[in-house]
Structure 1
Amino acid sequence: MTATRARVDHAVSSGTFSLDGQTFDVDNNIWVVGDDAECVVIDAPHSVEDILAVVGDRTIKAIVLTHAHDDHCRVAPALRAAANGGSGAPIMLHPADRPLWELTHGGPDDETATLWDLDLADGVTIEVGGTTLQVLHTPGHAPGAVCLYAPDLGCVFTGDTLFNGGPGATGRSFSDEDLIKDSIRARLFALPAGTVVHTGHGDDTTIAAEQAGLG
């Protein structure tokens, strides 16, 4: 097997999450996948500067959002504008998350509203730095929630679908507890047991560890 050039870089950014009239302080993981020349940014939490510090001087091929809660997409338009020395990079989001996106970035009646650039869909692949990210649609935490599986790297980026300790929260608008569990069992537990799970918040885990907990 040809060795991949790609790697995973990581940092943590702090800010807030707001939904249903409540606001919480949160720490979000920043994940950047690529090689020395190019990369993909997974989610856009809180601070463009924090994200660009991880990117360095690499070309950003895309900003891929696991879902559109504000702590994951708030600075996506600003990052798009700043990326690649100001020449920009496309934002990718599953269109089922448009209602959540519009809570942060405006709807059709808002003159200042902005949208993402490219739609994600189940089965889409994203090539970067000699490796491939496979899009898995995993609704439940949000209607358009996706996970990104990197088989060459032996890991999956789960956003807020699966954490170290179980499924993501489903007690707020646009979420569904039964659906997130179905998504995890059908899509994530089908991955190799040793797959490392890089989450949207908190520590890594593995598919095997979470399968033992959720069953």
Structure 2
Amino acid sequence: MLDRVITSGTFSLDGGTWDVENNVWLVGDAREVIVIDAAHDARAIADRVGGRTVKAIVCTHAHDDHINAAHELAGLTGAPIRLHPADQVLWEQVYGDAVRYEPLADGEKLEAGGISLEVIHTPGHSPGAVCLHAADLCAVFSGDTLFKGGPGATGRSYSSFETIIESIRDRLLTLPGETVVHTGHGESTSIRSEAPHLEEWIARGH
């Protein structure tokens, strides 16, 4: 139903580069999966996929560390790349206009192996950031919008602290408390664990 590949590489933006480890999530069954955030190492991800069909490679946002293996993985698997078009400017920083993706829309539902993923547009970390809600699994895949301990970073280009707080408050913290939050980096958490800290994050961010 759910698998994780941890890949290592770098994240670069605004002239800086940082070493990072990314969570790549595979959602589906023994026949088919959706890959969430193809980061750094397409071969390692393809090895974990094995003989399964990849229905889509979904990017929660277009920072380079979340998309830099997407094109190669698409070539290995034949799967379409999906991204919210509000992140076009970030996508072009990595791929220019040489690599195409299919646009994601808020409220769209993707399916693999009998599991439905609903796209939730959660701008703030980037303009086109999305989370994927798998009600069947009582889980949400939050990319870099929400982590264990607080919101994703908003100190770089194309990000907004006020917007990410609004996205978390209105789109994520309204999910059932028992919903597990599978993040783009680090450990998973839950809506119940993070919800009480909203006011603290707001105070800390100003």
Deviation, structure 1 residue 51? 0.8
Separation in 1, partners of 2:184, 2:51 = 24
How big is the shift at 1:53? 2.2
Map of 2:90 onto structure 1? 100
- Name the count of aligned residue pairs: 199
Alignment of 1:36-185 (within 5 A): 36-83=30-77, 88-107=78-97, 113-116=98-101, 118-185=102-169
Quote the Cα distance in structure 2 between the aligned partners of 1:53 and 1:187.
Answer: 34
- Structure 1 residue ranges, 4+ long, deviating more than 2 angstroms after superposition: none
Kindly report the root-mean-square deviation, in angstroms, between the aligned alpha carbons of the 2 structures: 0.7
Residues in 1 aligned to 2:198 and 2:40: alpha-carbon distance in whole angstroms: 31
1:214 to 188, 198, 204: 198
Aligned residue for 2:57, secondary structure, equals: strand
Q: What is the CA deviation profile of residues 149-170 of structure 1, one whole-angstrom value per residue up to 9, with x for unaligned ones?
A: 0001010000000001100000
- State the one-letter code of the partner of 1:177: F
The C-alpha deviation readout for 1:43-99, integer Å capped at 9, x for no partner, is 11000012112211100000000000000001111110011xxxx110000000000
Gaps of 5+ in 1: 1-6, 108-112
State which drifts further: 175-184 or 53-62.
Answer: 53-62
Identity of aligned residues (%): 58
Hey, what's the Cα distance between the residues in 1 that align with 2:72 and 2:43?
10
| Alpha-carbon distance in 2 for matches of 1:102, 1:115 | 10
TM-score w.r.t. structure 2 length?
0.95
